[in-house]
């Protein structure tokens, strides 16, 4: 590891200017809610850090999380930071395959015992080990073997963080999250379907800088990015307050860019940084494109009612059960009336 | 299942079943009661016109009591109109009713609803203070009066906490608000809050009986 180039050397070789590098450090400090005094420390730590070994495990997933990281429209400093890590194992990106790929994973684990990061995307099927295997190894066995010597685990995407779509009702594979299985390692969840690239790289930067993972919320998500709701930071929020809503996707309200609450927006209950960091180099985010937030960074988002059902829609149960309650009411009323008539007759007789 | 899912799902469902069963129970129980025979000569014809008249006239205080009851009457009007506005003119509530009935209508801006909610709460507290300080009112008040006051204003308080994000996160506050509404729906048919669906029936009945007996209505 001592022979590996530092991140600073790699960035220099890639043609990143000092100005551009410091700009990235300042942005990262800002995103992580760190004071400006920390910027030189971040810069120094990143520059001098040796390439950390990262093992990326992909289980029951769609590769969207990897796509999110790699499909940038233009190379960015964030992308180069990601390049600067030593990605020793990644099914989609690595050239090696078969035994060679597994040998690379084992080599990385041995060489960096206790110091490597494990990034996981995808949930782990516990219903049957055969539901998802890699090189004949079940996802569960590969995860537990790999995390044993890891410094920390980062669950990338909602599937790894919370079970995601594979874990949605009726969960045919018995899918569970990384946190359901790994109990003895620091875990940070970076959910989203997919997660924001900047959030992933900022978490890695924090690890490079301080050697520890950032402060997290009750779901293990970095507070700097998941501390506020989409609704709180949404540029359409004033329309919500004014009571101006789009009722359909093509009405005047939609054209005027009014609030999408009535079209099922889950922004008020979704904690993520989409409204501030945005996507595609800060171009926009789903609400800006005219679609309600699906709440993809929240646990069980797939099972929390219809995507186009407003948040305040209640569930009164089936009509049959309501009718049953009404019938029960009639019966109880009749019994009460009979009892009342008997009481009346008794009092009349006594009088 | 998190708290919000529980509130929006089983809690609201059971509250609805109890509300429906309890309301019908009360109405059927009253309708099927045997009417007492009235052997007296009717002074006036009575009937539905008398019922409608009293439903209207009882909305206002009779002249001899106008001054004495001005304050509670005003507070009661503010509270009832306020409750109507926050329940039926707040857009998320309208969306809720739309999901249930299929109908929607225009709402008021959130800031207006917030102001009305505060006014509703203040009037409710003023009425409670009067109940606690007026010796006669205090004497005739029982658990039903206080608990009905509590379950009526609890959703107002929990609703007002949501936009200010007080104490808890949005989704937890929303869940607490829905649970407080569920409590209101469960209690509504059984206590004095039954006047929600019985008020015009009882006023109308009173009007018909009084008219028949020749009382001033």
Domain boundaries, position A158: 7-223
Q: Whole-angstrom Cα distance, residue A272 to residue A231?
A: 10
Helix (H) or strand (E) holding B191: none
Q: Determine the pLDDT at residue A83.
A: 64
| B130: closest CA of chain A, how far (Å) | 35
B23 touches chain A (CB under 8 A): yes
Q: Whole-angstrom Cα distance, residue B162 to residue A239?
A: 17
Residue B68 pLDDT more than 90? no
Q: Are A34 and A80 contained in the same domain? A: yes
Which residues on adjacent β-strands are paired with residue A53?
A: A86
Residue ending a domain, among A279, A294, A309, is A294
Q: Whole-angstrom Cα distance, residue A13 to residue A5?
A: 10
State what percent of residues in chain B have pLDDT above 70: 99
Q: Are A160 and A257 contained in the same domain? A: no
Q: Which of A311, A322, A338 sits opposite B17 (nearest CB)?
A: A322
Write down the CATH superfamily of domain B3-24+52-213.
Transmembrane di-heme cytochromes, Chain C (1.20.950.20)
Residue A351 pLDDT more than 70? no
Task: Assess if residue A54 is contained within a domain.
Answer: yes
- Pairwise CB contact (< 8 Å): A315 & B13: yes
Residue ending a domain, among A195, A223, A251, is A223
Which residues from A are below 8 Å from B184, CB to CB?
none
State whether residue A177 is helix, strand or coil: coil
Pick from A218, A236, A243, A303 the residue to mutate for testing the B interface (most B CBs within 10 Å).
A243
**Cα A152 from chain centre:** 17
| A328: closest CA of chain B, how far (Å) | 6
Return the structure tokens found at B150: 């509590």
Which residues on adjacent β-strands are paired with residue A137?
A: A134
Residue A316 pLDDT more than 90? no
A81-125, pLDDT tens digit by residue? 566 677 788 888 888 888 888 999 999 999 999 989 999 999 999
Helix (H) or strand (E) holding A88: strand A86-89
Pick from B25, B85, B168 the residue to mutate for testing the A interface (most A CBs within 10 Å).
B25
A236 touches chain B (CB under 8 A): no
Residue A192: name the closest of A76, A270, A303 by CA.
Answer: A270
Q: Predicted ipTM?
A: 0.76
Task: Assess if residue A62 is contained within a domain.
Answer: yes
Which residues from A are below 8 Å from B2, CB to CB?
299-300
Q: Determine the pLDDT at residue A144.
A: 97
Per the structure, how many domains does chain A have? 3
Residue A140: Cβ within 10 Å count = 17
Q: Is B200 exposed, middle or buried (0-12, 13-18, 19+ CB in 10 A)?
A: middle
CATH code for position A78:
3.40.50.700
Query: Average of pLDDT values for A186-209?
Result: 85
Q: Whole-angstrom Cα distance, residue B95 to residue A262?
A: 7
Residue A1 pLDDT more than 60? no
State what percent of residues in chain A have pLDDT above 90: 50
Helix (H) or strand (E) holding A237: helix A237-242
Q: Are A71 and A213 contained in the same domain? A: yes
Residue B47 pLDDT more than 50? yes
Cβ pair B133, B126 in contact under 8 A: no
Pick from A272, A325, A345 the residue to mutate for testing the B interface (most B CBs within 10 Å).
A325
State the pLDDT confidence band at A253, using cuts at 50, 70 and 90. Answer: very high
Task: Assess if residue A44 is contained within a domain.
Answer: yes
Return the structure tokens found at A329: 């009411």
B126-177, pLDDT tens digit by residue? 999 999 999 999 999 999 999 999 999 999 999 999 888 777 888 889 999 9
Task: Assess if residue A189 is contained within a domain.
Answer: yes
A155-183, pLDDT tens digit by residue? 999 999 999 999 999 999 999 999 999 99
Rg value, chain B, Cα: 20
Residue A207 pLDDT more than 80? no
Q: Are A259 and A178 contained in the same domain? A: no
Cβ pair B8, A314 in contact under 8 A: yes
Which residues from B are below 8 Å from A314, CB to CB?
8, 12, 96, 99-100, 178
Q: Determine the pLDDT at residue A286.
A: 95
State the pLDDT confidence band at A2, using cuts at 50, 70 and 90. Answer: very low
Q: Whole-angstrom Cα distance, residue A286 to residue A70?
A: 19
- Pairwise CB contact (< 8 Å): A321 & B24: no
Residue A200: Cβ within 10 Å count = 24
Q: Determine the pLDDT at residue A92.
A: 80
Q: Chain A 255-294, CB below 8 Å of chain B: which residues?
A: 261-262, 268-269
Q: Are A168 and A250 contained in the same domain? A: no
Cβ pair A308, A261 in contact under 8 A: no
Task: Assess if residue A309 is contained within a domain.
Answer: no
Query: Average of pLDDT values for B8-36?
Result: 89
Going by their DSSP bridges, the two strands A187-190 and A116-121 should be labelled as unpaired
B87-114, pLDDT tens digit by residue? 999 998 998 888 878 888 999 999 999 9
Query: Average of pLDDT values for A274-299?
Result: 92
- Pairwise CB contact (< 8 Å): A325 & B18: yes
Task: Please state the domain extents for chain B.
Answer: 3-24+52-213
- Pairwise CB contact (< 8 Å): B8 & A299: no
Residue B217: name the closest of B4, B30, B56, B101 by CA.
Answer: B56
Query: Average of pLDDT values for B113-122?
Result: 96
Q: Are A286 and A204 contained in the same domain? A: no
State the pLDDT confidence band at A76, using cuts at 50, 70 and 90. Answer: low
How many helices (DSSP H) and strands (DSSP E) are in chain A?
Answer: 16, 9
Angle at the Cα of A225 from the Cα atoms of A57 and A148, rounded to 5 degrees: 30
Q: What are phi and psi of A137, to 5 degrees?
A: -105, 135
Interface A-B: count of C-beta contacts within 8 A: 126
State the pLDDT confidence band at A185, using cuts at 50, 70 and 90. Answer: very high
Q: Cis omega (within 30 of 0) on the bond before A170? A: yes
CB neighbours of B98 closer than 8 A, spacing ≥ 6?
B104
Q: What is the mean pLDDT of chain A?
A: 86
CB neighbours of A344 closer than 8 A, spacing ≥ 6?
B33, B34, B36
Q: Are A200 and A258 contained in the same domain? A: no
Return the structure tokens found at B64: 């001899």
Task: Assess if residue A248 is contained within a domain.
Answer: yes
A135 touches chain B (CB under 8 A): no
Residue A145 pLDDT more than 70? yes
Q: Whole-angstrom Cα distance, residue A252 to residue A258?
A: 9
Task: Assess if residue A97 is contained within a domain.
Answer: yes
CATH code for position A262:
4.10.480.10
Q: Determine the pLDDT at residue A296.
A: 96
How many helices (DSSP H) and strands (DSSP E) are in chain B?
Answer: 10, 0
B96 touches chain A (CB under 8 A): yes
Instruction: Return the residue matching tokens 């929600």.
Output: B196
B88 touches chain A (CB under 8 A): no
Task: Assess if residue A219 is contained within a domain.
Answer: yes
Q: Determine the pLDDT at residue B21.
A: 94
Q: Whole-angstrom Cα distance, residue A19 to residue A38?
A: 17
Residue ending a domain, among A223, A240, A261, is A223
State whether residue B193 is helix, strand or coil: helix
B164 touches chain A (CB under 8 A): no
Query: Average of pLDDT values for A194-208?
Result: 82
Q: Are A189 and A245 contained in the same domain? A: no
Q: Determine the pLDDT at residue A213.
A: 78
Q: Are A192 and A241 contained in the same domain? A: no
CB neighbours of B12 closer than 8 A, spacing ≥ 6?
A314, A315, A316, B178, B181, B182
B62 touches chain A (CB under 8 A): no
Q: Are A47 and A177 contained in the same domain? A: yes
Cβ pair A343, B40 in contact under 8 A: no
Residue B69 pLDDT more than 70? yes
Q: Which residues of A17-36 are buried (b: 16+ CB within 10 A; e: fewer)?
A: eeeebeebbbbbbebbebee
- Pairwise CB contact (< 8 Å): A341 & B34: yes
């Amino acid at each position: 590891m001592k022979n590996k180039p530092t991140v600073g050397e790699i960035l220099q070789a890639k043609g990143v200017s000092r100005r551009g590098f410091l700009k990235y450090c300042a942005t990262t400090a800002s995103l992580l809610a760190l004071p400006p005094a920390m910027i030189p420390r971040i810069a120094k730590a990143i520059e001098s850090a040796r390439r950390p070994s990262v093992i990326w495990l992909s289980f029951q997933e769609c590769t969207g999380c990897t796509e999110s990281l790699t499909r940038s429209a233009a190379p960015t400093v964030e992308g180069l930071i990601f390049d600067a890590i030593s990605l020793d194992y990644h099914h989609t990106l690595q050239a090696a395959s078969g035994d060679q790929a597994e040998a690379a994973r084992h080599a990385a684990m041995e060489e960096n015992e206790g110091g490597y990061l494990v990034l996981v995307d995808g949930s782990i099927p516990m219903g049957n080990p055969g539901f998802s295997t890699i090189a004949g190894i079940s996802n569960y066995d590969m995860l537990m073997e790999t995390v044993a010597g890891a410094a920390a685990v980062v669950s990338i995407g909602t599937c790894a963080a919370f079970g995601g779509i594979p874990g949605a009702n009726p969960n045919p594979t018995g899918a569970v999250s990384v946190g359901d299985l790994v109990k003895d390692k620091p875990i940070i969840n970076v959910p989203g379907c997919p997660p924001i690239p900047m959030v992933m790289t900022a978490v890695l930067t924090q690890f490079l800088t301080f050697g520890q993972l950032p402060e997290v919320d009750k779901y293990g998500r970095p507070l700097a990015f998941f501390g506020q709701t989409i609704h709180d930071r949404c540029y359409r929020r004033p329309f919500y307050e004014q009571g101006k809503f789009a009722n359909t996707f093509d009405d005047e309200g939609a054209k005027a860019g009014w609030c999408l609450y009535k079209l099922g927006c889950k922004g008020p209950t979704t904690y993520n940084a989409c409204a501030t960091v945005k996507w595609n180099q800060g171009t926009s985010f789903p609400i800006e494109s005219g679609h309600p937030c699906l709440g993809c960074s929240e646990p069980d988002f797939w099972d929390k009612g219809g995507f186009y059902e407003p948040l305040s829609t209640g569930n009164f149960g089936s009509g049959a059960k309501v009718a049953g309650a009404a019938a029960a009411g009639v019966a109880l009323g009749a019994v009460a009336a009979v009892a009342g008539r008997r009481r009346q007759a008794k009092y009349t007789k006594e009088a | 299942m998190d708290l919000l899912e529980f509130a929006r799902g089983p809690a609201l469902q059971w509250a609805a079943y109890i509300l429906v069963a309890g309301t019908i129970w009360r109405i059927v129980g009253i309708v099927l009661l045997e009417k007492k025979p009235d052997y007296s000569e009717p002074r006036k014809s009575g009937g539905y016109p008398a019922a409608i008249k009293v439903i209207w006239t009882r909305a206002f205080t009779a002249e001899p009591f106008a001054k004495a009851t001005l304050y509670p009457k005003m507070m009661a009007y503010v509270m009832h109109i306020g409750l109507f506005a926050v329940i039926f003119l707040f857009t998320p509530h309208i969306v809720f009713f739309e999901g249930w009935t299929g109908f929607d209508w225009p709402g008021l801006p959130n800031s207006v609803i917030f102001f009305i909610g505060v006014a509703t709460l203040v009037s409710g507290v003023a009425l409670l203070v009067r109940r606690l300080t007026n010796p006669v009112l205090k004497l005739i008040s029982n658990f039903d009066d206080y608990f009905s006051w509590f379950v009526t204003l609890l959703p107002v308080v929990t609703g007002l906490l949501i936009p200010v994000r007080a104490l808890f996160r949005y989704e937890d506050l929303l869940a607490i608000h829905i649970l407080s509404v569920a409590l209101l729906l469960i209690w509504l048919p059984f206590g004095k809050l039954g006047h929600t669906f019985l008020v015009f029936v009882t006023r109308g009945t009173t009007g018909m009986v009084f008219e028949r007996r020749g009382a001033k209505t």
